């Protein structure tokens, strides 16, 4: 490339490319992207928590009430073969006959030369069964929702869908480009509010719900949704993937369950892979709707048609279901029995309503994985559903009941589940301060005042930390030394803070005390030598006299300590933060972090104290402080995380400082990796409460002092932990976040096996 021959625009574009690539145009491998790394990390965590990997377990035969895995027969609750028709000899024979007659593939899209008489027979049978004018079958249930919703609606339309709708519905809504609003799960009052607010601005509106919700097993109040549809002149689409063959006396689904005519719903969607023992999806409705979809839907006209054996299997299963309604009745009895037994055993079945989808909520992904693993060892196959498929505190085992299960099998599974849950650690042990001793805090207001004492005073455990793999002691962690440093530093600060002089016995002759700041600021300075602290103290009393200092936080890790508390000024009270380094029991370095913003904890001085405080860029510091507040609100209140993520730099670094034995210590680079860290942390930490005592803003940095109460899910140990968190911002974007915890508390809670 001859740079001299490039135009100014081409040179500018080349420079931008070089800057984005760090000066190199070498392409990055796809698998090195953060999303790949995050998945590898997540799968590694799952492998550590389970003996049998819970995903992609190879089934070695037909899956009904039992299954074969690894040469072993297990009682099976992980299949939606609801009516036991997959593997039925009549269904299998129909599929084999179709292969002999039509081959294994249509070998073309149906609009071209892939149309088979079997397709028409199946579609006619589905329409007749559902009471609609026509039906259309597609090769995949998921693809059916994506392509039909994405094709039928556009940016001028409004789509209102249940917040717990299946991923295929959400993907279809996204593809459509329509204005989309999820309504709270089965909350028809909220649905009405959204219709009133947005319907008038849309050309068309459609409400989308499900017959049986696939994660919770509950059903919507369809008659009332139909009333809303009519009132607001909207269309209605119902996904019957898990209600076809399940609801109603004969298995005709939610319309039979409620006794409503099929014409009250504009678009019926369903799958062939559950009660109908095949693969694929269908749409049923008016003949005009089906004709339009047949000639225009991308996922149909540009896709191969349903395979002949799949079409024949579904047609045969539909015929058997119609002829043998006792299968549906037995399925409903089994589902009712499971729910009754589970509730009697004290299991949390969440929203279950007696359909064959029966969740047992475990409260965390860790527990869900462990319980699934334990049941597998006991000969019961049931899959965990973990975050992000569901919210972390709604992680669960999802049981699918079929008509082929016996009452004895159901009772055996429920009893085993109850016994394994009882083996989980009880939340009785408390590390650090007892939870009841901490001041009560209201989550609605994160900026509240409150104190916690340092763990060095309340946590007296002595230990050596040993690497379980190498047997070597952790070099950077010495709890006995840290306790000694904490006690010495606290005593030193309490003495001079109360006006009783400076204890020079803990000060090094080479001590350095520094107050960074901008040139010309009164409080800044640097002092060296054995009298450095006295010189610092004398200087500070001149420029901003303080009457009393408290010591509210003392945290130690290795040779480093954090000392923080409040000091009383003539105009009020402010927080201070000192970063210390100690060697051989002596303080060798002190750095004071001064607050450059007006946002502090309770009792902070007002604007009239500006002449006494170090003022960096107060506007920037306050904005950065607000960004930190956004982070805490997103974490504590489970707010829209996008509010915070959009303020992070793409290459943000997230760091948890601590010994390598802590499961959440480490460094994560990039937004994807950071989000994965949060996800993994939620799987092992049952978070109760977070509080912030002070946000101290210095230029581009925000120092946050606070604490949280949690339970370590792997051990069941409850604990309270102080922290110092430091966020570094550049141009309104978070660049680096580091969290300093007290490793003595965290190790005792999460790794009692190596913390003796």
**Residues identified as active-site:** 214, 242, 274
| Rg of the chain in Å (alpha carbons) | 32
Positive or negative torsion for Cα 617, 623, 629, 635:
negative
The residue behind tokens 């109760």 is 688
Identify whether the C-beta of residue 312 lies closer than 8 Å to the C-beta of residue 277: no
Closest-CA residue to 601 (of 637, 627, 638, 576):
576
Burial of 473 (0-12, 13-18, 19+ CB in 10 A): exposed
The phi, psi pair for 549, rounded to 5°, reads -115, 135
The phi, psi pair for 113, rounded to 5°, reads -130, 20
Identify whether the C-beta of residue 513 lies closer than 8 Å to the C-beta of residue 532: yes
Closest-CA residue to 657 (of 563, 724, 754):
724
Q: Could you tell me which residues are beta bridge partners of residue 717?
A: 712
- Can you tell me the distance from the alpha carbon of 259 to that of 267, in angstroms, rounded to the nearest whole number? 17
Task: Decide: helix, strand or coil at residue 237.
Answer: strand
How many helices and strands (H and E) does the chain possess?
22, 26
Helix axes 141-152, 287-296, angle to 10 degrees: 100
- Can you tell me the distance from the alpha carbon of 284 to that of 262, in angstroms, rounded to the nearest whole number? 10
Identify whether the C-beta of residue 404 lies closer than 8 Å to the C-beta of residue 63: no
User: How many C-beta atoms lie closer than 10 Å to residue 192's C-beta?
Assistant: 16
- Can you tell me the distance from the alpha carbon of 356 to that of 65, in angstroms, rounded to the nearest whole number? 13
Burial of 685 (0-12, 13-18, 19+ CB in 10 A): buried
Beta-strand relationship, 701-712 and 717-730: antiparallel
Q: Could you tell me which residues are beta bridge partners of residue 381?
A: 76
Identify whether the C-beta of residue 628 lies closer than 8 Å to the C-beta of residue 703: no
- Can you tell me the distance from the alpha carbon of 401 to that of 156, in angstroms, rounded to the nearest whole number? 42
The residue behind tokens 């995903």 is 55
Task: Decide: helix, strand or coil at residue 520.
Answer: coil
The residue behind tokens 């029995």 is 337
- Can you tell me the distance from the alpha carbon of 468 to that of 751, in angstroms, rounded to the nearest whole number? 11
Identify whether the C-beta of residue 686 lies closer than 8 Å to the C-beta of residue 714: no
Q: Which residues contact 587 (CB under 8 A, 6 or more apart)?
A: 489, 492, 506, 507, 508, 511, 533, 580, 581
């Amino acid at each position: 490339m001859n740079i001299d021959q490039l135009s100014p625009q081409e040179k500018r574009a080349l420079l931008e490319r070089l800057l984005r690539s760090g000066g190199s145009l070498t392409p990055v491998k796809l698998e090195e992207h953060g999303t790949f790394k995050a998945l590898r990390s997540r799968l590694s965590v799952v492998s550590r928590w389970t003996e049998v990997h819970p995903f992609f377990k190879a089934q070695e035969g037909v899956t009904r009430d039992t299954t074969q895995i690894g040469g072993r027969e297990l009682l099976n609750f992980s299949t939606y073969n609801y009516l036991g028709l997959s593997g039925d000899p009549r269904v299998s024979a129909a599929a084999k006959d179709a292969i002999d007659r039509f081959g294994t593939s249509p070998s073309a899209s149906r609009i071209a030369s892939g149309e088979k008489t079997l397709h028409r027979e199946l579609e006619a049978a589905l329409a007749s069964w559902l009471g609609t004018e026509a039906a259309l079958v597609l090769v995949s249930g998921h693809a059916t929702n994506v392509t039909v919703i994405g094709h039928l609606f556009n940016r001028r339309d409004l789509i209102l869908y249940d917040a717990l709708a299946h991923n295929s519905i959400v993907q279809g809504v996204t593809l459509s480009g329509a204005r989309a609003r999820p309504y709270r799960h089965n909350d028809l009052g909220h649905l009405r509010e959204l219709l009133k607010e947005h319907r008038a601005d849309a050309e068309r509106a459609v409400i989308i719900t499900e017959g049986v919700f696939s994660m919770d097993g509950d059903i919507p109040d369809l008659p009332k949704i139909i009333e809303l549809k009519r009132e607001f002149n909207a269309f209605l689409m119902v996904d019957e993937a898990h209600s076809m063959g399940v609801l109603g006396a004969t298995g005709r689904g939610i319309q039979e369950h409620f006794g409503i005519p099929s014409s009250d719903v504009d678009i019926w969607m369903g799958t062939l892979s559950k009660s109908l023992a095949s693969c694929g999806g269908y749409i049923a409705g008016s003949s005009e709707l089906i004709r339009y979809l047949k000639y225009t839907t991308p996922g149909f006209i540009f896709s191969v048609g349903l395979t002949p054996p799949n079409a024949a299997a579904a047609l045969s299963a539909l015929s058997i279901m119609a002829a043998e309604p006792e299968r549906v009745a037995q399925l409903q009895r089994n589902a009712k029995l499971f729910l009754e037994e589970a509730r009697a055993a004290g299991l949390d079945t969440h929203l279950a309503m007696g359909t064959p989808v029966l969740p047992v909520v475990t409260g965390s992904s860790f527990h869900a994985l462990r319980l699934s693993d334990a049941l597998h060892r006991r000969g019961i196959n049931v899959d965990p559903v973990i975050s992000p498929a569901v919210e972390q505190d709604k992680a669960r085992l999802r049981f699918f009941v079929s008509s082929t299960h016996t009452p004895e099998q159901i009772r055996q599974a429920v009893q085993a589940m109850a016994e394994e849950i009882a083996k989980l650690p009880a939340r009785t042990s408390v590390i650090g301060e007892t939870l009841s001793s901490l001041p009560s805090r209201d989550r609605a207001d994160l900026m509240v005042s409150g104190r916690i004492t340092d763990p060095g005073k309340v946590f007296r455990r002595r230990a050596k930390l040993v690497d379980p793999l190498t047997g070597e002691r952790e070099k950077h962690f010495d709890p006995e030394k840290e306790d000694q440093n904490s006690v010495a530093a606290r005593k030193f600060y309490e003495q001079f803070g109360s006006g009783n002089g400076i204890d020079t016995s803990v000060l090094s002759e080479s001590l350095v005390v520094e107050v960074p700041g901008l040139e010309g600021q009164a409080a800044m300075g640097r002092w060296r030598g054995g009298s450095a602290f006295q010189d610092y103290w004398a200087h500070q009393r001149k420029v901003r006299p303080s009457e009393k200092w408290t010591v509210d936080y003392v945290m130690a890790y290795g040779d480093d300590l954090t000392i923080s508390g409040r000091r009383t000024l003539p105009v009020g009270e402010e927080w201070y933060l000192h970063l210390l380094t100690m060697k051989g029991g002596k303080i060798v370095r002190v750095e004071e972090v001064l607050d450059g913003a007006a946002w502090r904890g309770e009792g902070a001085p007002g604007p009239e104290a500006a002449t006494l405080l170090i003022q960096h860029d107060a506007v920037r510091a306050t904005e950065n402080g607000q960004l930190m507040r956004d982070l805490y609100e997103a974490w504590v209140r489970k707010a829209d995380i996008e509010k915070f993520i959009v303020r992070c730099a793409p290459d943000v670094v997230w760091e948890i400082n601590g010994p390598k034995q802590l499961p959440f210590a480490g460094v994560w680079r990039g937004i994807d990796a950071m989000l994965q860290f949060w996800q993994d942390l939620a799987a092992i930490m049952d978070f109760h409460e977070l509080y912030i005592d002070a946000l101290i803003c210095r230029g581009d940095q925000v120092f946050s002092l606070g604490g949280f109460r949690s339970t370590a899910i792997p051990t069941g140990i409850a604990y309270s932990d102080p922290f110092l968190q430091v966020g570094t911002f550049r141009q309104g974007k978070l660049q680096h976040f580091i969290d300093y915890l007290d490793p003595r508390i965290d190790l005792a809670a999460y790794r009692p096996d190596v913390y003796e």
